Amino acid sequence: MDLADILTKDQIVPDLQATTRWEAIDELINNLVATGKIKPEHRDAIAAVVKKRDTQMSTGIGFGIGIPHASTDLITEVVGALGRSRKGCNFDALDNQPVNLVMLFLVPQGQFQKHLHTLANIAKLLHKAEFRQTLDQAPDAEAMLKAIKEQGKK
């Protein structure tokens, strides 16, 4: 499962307002509710699962990247939202640097292999400095999605 498979232009927030990882998670979950990817009545339960996972160990993996993720039985397919923060969020990242790109994704409960595969693909993609720079310089969500789709073809 690649990033281009789970994102639409509407699931990209080019100007995250969050200043902390908890705010970033809430903002991206709100995006998933607004875009119809998760039901409004499941919002709080899903937020709790993602935050519980992130409390165990920060998903700020360094290089300005955060990948909060969780499994839940409240969805039937992999869903995600990407946020870009110009200011940077305090994510308690492994390198203690602020996070500028936050990729939140959710995997249906019991799909452990898909979960690991999706996480690995996203991390590998976002580790490319040139790709991160392209996302950083993209003027809007449409340009960010185009960059993601082009990167997926390489």
Q: What is the pLDDT of residues 26-48, one digit of tens each?
A: 999 999 999 999 999 999 999 99
CA 72 to chain centre: 16
Retrieve residue 89's tokens. 């969020």
Per the CB < 8 A criterion, the answer to whether 106 and 70 are in contact is yes
- pLDDT winner (highest mean) among 53-62, 111-120, 129-138: 129-138
Cα 15–Cα 16–Cα 18 angle in degrees, nearest 5: 150
Residues 77-113 have pLDDT tens digits of 999 999 999 999 999 988 999 999 999 999 999 988 8
**Closest C-alpha to 27, from 47, 49, 5, 55:** 47
Work out whether strand 79-89 and strand 99-108 pair parallel, antiparallel, or are unpaired: antiparallel
Q: Is the dihedral of CA 98, 103, 104, 107 positive or negative?
A: negative
Say what the pTM is. 0.94
Number of Cβ within 10 Å of residue 112's Cβ equals 10
Superfamily of domain 3-153: Mannitol-specific EII; Chain A (3.40.930.10)
Retrieve residue 3's tokens. 């990033």
